[in-house]
Chains A and B, each alone.
Chain A
Amino acid sequence: DQQVKQNSPSLSVQEGRISILNCDYTNSMFDYFLWYKKYPAEGPTFLISISSIKDKNEDGRFTVFLNKSAKHLSLHIVPSQPGDSAVYFCAAYYDKLIFGTGTRLQVFP
Protein backbone atom coordinates (compact mmCIF):
# COMPACT_ATOMS: atom_id res chain seq x y z
CA ASP A 1 0.00 0.00 0.00
CA GLN A 2 1.69 3.15 -1.25
CA GLN A 3 1.20 5.83 1.40
CA VAL A 4 3.08 8.46 -0.58
CA LYS A 5 2.41 8.72 -4.30
CA GLN A 6 3.93 10.67 -7.12
CA ASN A 7 1.61 10.05 -10.03
CA SER A 8 3.75 11.69 -12.69
CA PRO A 9 6.83 9.59 -13.43
CA SER A 10 8.29 12.30 -15.61
CA LEU A 11 8.00 16.00 -16.39
CA SER A 12 9.61 18.09 -19.11
CA VAL A 13 9.87 21.88 -18.74
CA GLN A 14 11.54 24.61 -20.71
CA GLU A 15 14.33 26.57 -19.05
CA GLY A 16 13.05 29.67 -17.30
CA ARG A 17 9.53 28.32 -16.84
CA ILE A 18 7.97 26.97 -13.67
CA SER A 19 8.27 23.30 -12.75
CA ILE A 20 5.53 21.87 -10.53
CA LEU A 21 6.02 18.46 -9.02
CA ASN A 22 3.14 16.86 -7.16
CA CYS A 23 2.82 14.39 -4.35
CA ASP A 24 -0.21 12.84 -2.64
CA TYR A 25 -0.33 10.99 0.65
CA THR A 26 -2.88 8.91 2.49
CA ASN A 27 -1.80 8.91 6.14
CA SER A 28 -3.10 11.93 8.06
CA MET A 29 -0.61 11.19 10.84
CA PHE A 30 2.36 12.40 8.75
CA ASP A 31 3.72 15.51 10.47
CA TYR A 32 6.66 16.48 8.28
CA PHE A 33 7.27 16.42 4.56
CA LEU A 34 10.49 16.59 2.58
CA TRP A 35 11.69 16.75 -1.00
CA TYR A 36 14.88 15.05 -2.10
CA LYS A 37 16.73 15.49 -5.35
CA LYS A 38 18.72 12.72 -6.99
CA TYR A 39 21.23 12.99 -9.81
CA PRO A 40 22.38 9.87 -11.71
CA ALA A 41 25.05 7.83 -9.91
CA GLU A 42 24.55 9.83 -6.70
CA GLY A 43 22.48 9.37 -3.59
CA PRO A 44 19.42 11.52 -2.89
CA THR A 45 20.13 14.87 -1.27
CA PHE A 46 17.77 16.89 0.88
CA LEU A 47 16.21 19.85 -0.90
CA ILE A 48 13.43 21.43 1.15
CA SER A 49 10.95 20.49 3.84
CA ILE A 50 7.71 21.64 5.46
CA SER A 51 6.06 20.99 8.77
CA SER A 52 2.42 19.94 8.83
CA ILE A 53 1.56 23.10 10.77
CA LYS A 54 2.56 25.25 7.79
CA ASP A 55 1.19 25.52 4.29
CA LYS A 56 4.19 27.03 2.51
CA ASN A 57 7.94 27.06 2.78
CA GLU A 58 10.25 28.90 0.45
CA ASP A 59 13.98 28.59 -0.17
CA GLY A 60 15.30 30.57 -3.09
CA ARG A 61 13.85 29.19 -6.32
CA PHE A 62 12.16 26.32 -4.49
CA THR A 63 8.79 26.53 -2.76
CA VAL A 64 6.86 23.69 -1.20
CA PHE A 65 3.10 23.95 -0.68
CA LEU A 66 1.09 21.73 1.63
CA ASN A 67 -2.66 21.24 1.40
CA LYS A 68 -3.58 19.07 4.38
CA SER A 69 -7.27 18.83 3.56
CA ALA A 70 -6.42 17.41 0.15
CA LYS A 71 -3.43 15.44 1.49
CA HIS A 72 -1.36 16.96 -1.27
CA LEU A 73 1.98 18.70 -1.49
CA SER A 74 3.76 20.26 -4.40
CA LEU A 75 7.22 21.55 -5.18
CA HIS A 76 7.52 24.66 -7.36
CA ILE A 77 10.81 25.54 -9.03
CA VAL A 78 10.95 29.03 -10.49
CA PRO A 79 12.72 29.67 -12.77
CA SER A 80 13.71 26.17 -13.84
CA GLN A 81 17.31 25.64 -14.87
CA PRO A 82 18.99 22.79 -16.78
CA GLY A 83 20.87 21.88 -13.60
CA ASP A 84 17.52 21.10 -11.97
CA SER A 85 17.19 18.04 -14.23
CA ALA A 86 17.07 15.15 -11.78
CA VAL A 87 14.72 12.70 -10.10
CA TYR A 88 12.72 14.27 -7.27
CA PHE A 89 11.38 12.19 -4.39
CA CYS A 90 8.83 13.45 -1.93
CA ALA A 91 8.90 11.89 1.52
CA ALA A 92 6.65 12.00 4.55
CA TYR A 93 7.50 11.37 8.18
CA TYR A 94 5.47 9.96 11.03
CA ASP A 95 7.55 7.46 12.95
CA LYS A 96 9.75 6.88 9.94
CA LEU A 97 10.39 8.35 6.54
CA ILE A 98 8.21 7.05 3.69
CA PHE A 99 9.28 7.90 0.14
CA GLY A 100 7.27 8.37 -3.00
CA THR A 101 8.12 6.74 -6.31
CA GLY A 102 9.91 9.74 -7.77
CA THR A 103 9.39 12.13 -10.69
CA ARG A 104 12.07 12.62 -13.32
CA LEU A 105 12.33 16.31 -14.23
CA GLN A 106 14.00 17.33 -17.46
CA VAL A 107 14.63 21.03 -18.06
CA PHE A 108 15.48 21.77 -21.67
CA PRO A 109 16.97 24.98 -23.13
Chain B
Amino acid sequence: EAQVTQNPRYLITVTGKKLTVTCSQNMNHEYMSWYRQDPGLGLRQIYYSMNVEVTDKGDVPEGYKVSRKEKRNFPLILESPSPNQTSLYFCASSLFSGSYEQYFGPGTRLTVT
Protein backbone atom coordinates (compact mmCIF):
# COMPACT_ATOMS: atom_id res chain seq x y z
CA GLU B 1 0.00 0.00 0.00
CA ALA B 2 1.32 3.42 -1.00
CA GLN B 3 1.69 5.49 2.12
CA VAL B 4 3.55 7.99 4.23
CA THR B 5 4.26 6.83 7.77
CA GLN B 6 5.23 8.89 10.79
CA ASN B 7 6.46 7.88 14.22
CA PRO B 8 5.62 8.45 16.94
CA ARG B 9 1.98 9.41 16.53
CA TYR B 10 1.85 11.04 19.95
CA LEU B 11 4.67 12.44 22.05
CA ILE B 12 4.81 14.35 25.31
CA THR B 13 8.22 15.69 26.24
CA VAL B 14 9.89 18.36 28.33
CA THR B 15 11.59 21.57 27.30
CA GLY B 16 15.11 21.04 26.00
CA LYS B 17 15.02 17.28 25.48
CA LYS B 18 16.06 16.49 21.94
CA LEU B 19 13.63 14.49 19.87
CA THR B 20 13.24 13.12 16.37
CA VAL B 21 10.04 12.44 14.46
CA THR B 22 10.56 9.96 11.67
CA CYS B 23 8.88 10.06 8.27
CA SER B 24 9.05 7.45 5.56
CA GLN B 25 7.34 7.07 2.18
CA ASN B 26 7.21 4.03 -0.09
CA MET B 27 6.20 5.75 -3.32
CA ASN B 28 9.69 6.67 -4.57
CA HIS B 29 8.76 10.34 -4.33
CA GLU B 30 11.48 12.92 -4.79
CA TYR B 31 9.82 15.73 -2.84
CA MET B 32 9.16 15.58 0.89
CA SER B 33 8.00 18.22 3.30
CA TRP B 34 7.13 18.89 6.93
CA TYR B 35 4.16 20.99 8.05
CA ARG B 36 2.76 22.03 11.38
CA GLN B 37 -0.92 22.63 11.96
CA ASP B 38 -2.01 25.13 14.59
CA PRO B 39 -5.51 26.45 15.35
CA GLY B 40 -6.37 29.45 13.22
CA LEU B 41 -3.12 29.18 11.26
CA GLY B 42 -3.73 26.19 9.02
CA LEU B 43 -0.83 24.16 7.68
CA ARG B 44 2.52 25.92 7.57
CA GLN B 45 5.59 24.48 5.93
CA ILE B 46 8.63 23.94 8.15
CA TYR B 47 11.21 22.42 5.80
CA TYR B 48 11.19 20.68 2.47
CA SER B 49 13.47 18.48 0.41
CA MET B 50 13.53 18.32 -3.36
CA ASN B 51 15.73 15.22 -3.40
CA VAL B 52 18.39 13.34 -1.46
CA GLU B 53 20.81 15.71 0.28
CA VAL B 54 18.79 18.75 -0.90
CA THR B 55 16.82 20.50 1.82
CA ASP B 56 15.58 24.03 2.31
CA LYS B 57 13.66 26.16 4.79
CA GLY B 58 9.95 26.63 4.59
CA ASP B 59 7.94 29.37 6.25
CA VAL B 60 8.54 28.45 9.91
CA PRO B 61 11.94 26.70 10.17
CA GLU B 62 13.16 28.15 13.47
CA GLY B 63 13.93 25.49 16.07
CA TYR B 64 13.84 22.60 13.61
CA LYS B 65 16.37 20.58 11.62
CA VAL B 66 15.93 17.99 8.91
CA SER B 67 18.07 15.59 6.94
CA ARG B 68 17.54 13.61 3.74
CA LYS B 69 20.15 10.88 3.50
CA GLU B 70 17.85 8.41 1.75
CA LYS B 71 15.05 9.07 -0.70
CA ARG B 72 12.38 7.41 1.43
CA ASN B 73 13.19 9.03 4.81
CA PHE B 74 12.90 12.61 5.99
CA PRO B 75 13.22 12.93 9.78
CA LEU B 76 12.34 16.11 11.66
CA ILE B 77 14.66 16.97 14.53
CA LEU B 78 13.94 19.29 17.43
CA GLU B 79 17.30 19.81 19.15
CA SER B 80 15.90 21.79 22.08
CA PRO B 81 12.09 21.71 22.03
CA SER B 82 10.16 24.59 23.56
CA PRO B 83 6.46 24.88 24.50
CA ASN B 84 5.72 26.97 21.37
CA GLN B 85 6.56 23.89 19.32
CA THR B 86 3.56 22.10 20.76
CA SER B 87 1.62 21.34 17.61
CA LEU B 88 0.33 18.73 15.18
CA TYR B 89 3.00 17.79 12.65
CA PHE B 90 2.52 16.30 9.21
CA CYS B 91 5.01 14.85 6.82
CA ALA B 92 4.09 14.89 3.13
CA SER B 93 5.56 13.70 -0.14
CA SER B 94 4.97 14.19 -3.84
CA LEU B 95 6.43 12.79 -7.03
CA PHE B 96 8.60 15.86 -7.60
CA SER B 97 8.73 19.46 -6.44
CA GLY B 98 6.33 20.71 -9.11
CA SER B 99 3.68 18.09 -8.35
CA TYR B 100 0.57 19.76 -7.03
CA GLU B 101 -0.85 16.82 -5.11
CA GLN B 102 0.91 15.90 -1.91
CA TYR B 103 0.38 12.74 0.12
CA PHE B 104 0.29 13.24 3.86
CA GLY B 105 1.23 11.06 6.77
CA PRO B 106 -1.22 10.52 9.66
CA GLY B 107 0.31 13.21 11.84
CA THR B 108 2.32 13.43 15.07
CA ARG B 109 0.83 15.29 17.99
CA LEU B 110 3.65 16.79 20.03
CA THR B 111 3.28 18.38 23.44
CA VAL B 112 6.25 20.16 25.01
CA THR B 113 5.87 21.02 28.69
Which A residues are closer than 8 A to B by beta carbons?
A: 4, 6, 9, 32, 34, 36, 41-46, 49, 89, 93, 96-97, 99-102
Q: Known contacts A41-B107, A42-B107, A43-B4: does B42 contact A49 (CB below 8 Å)? A: no
29 example contacts (A-B, Cβ-Cβ < 8 A) are as follows A4-B42, A6-B42, A32-B100, A34-B101, A36-B104, A41-B106, A41-B107, A42-B106, A42-B107, A43-B104, A43-B105, A43-B107, A44-B90, A44-B104, A46-B101, A46-B102, A49-B101, A89-B43, A93-B100, A96-B45, A96-B48, A97-B45, A97-B100, A97-B102, A99-B42, A99-B43, A101-B40, A101-B41, A101-B42
Which B residues are closer than 8 A to A by beta carbons?
A: 4, 35, 40-45, 48, 58, 90, 92, 100-107
Chain B residues with CB below 8 A from A4, complex form:
42
- Give the complex CA separation of A45 and B92 in angstroms: 10
What are the nearest 8 A-B pairs in CB distance? A43-B104, A99-B43, A101-B42, A99-B42, A46-B101, A44-B104, A32-B100, A43-B106
Q: Report the minimum CB–CB distance from B36 to chain A (whole Å).
A: 11
Chain A residues with CB below 8 A from B102, complex form:
46, 97
Nearest-CB residue, chain B, relative to A97:
B102
Nearest-CB residue, chain B, relative to A6:
B42
- Give the complex CA separation of A6 and B40 in angstroms: 10
Chain A residues with CB below 8 A from B92, complex form:
43
Chain B residues with CB below 8 A from A97, complex form:
45, 100, 102
- Give the complex CA separation of A17 and B58 in angstroms: 39
- Give the complex CA separation of A97 and B23 in angstroms: 19
- Give the complex CA separation of A34 and B35 in angstroms: 17
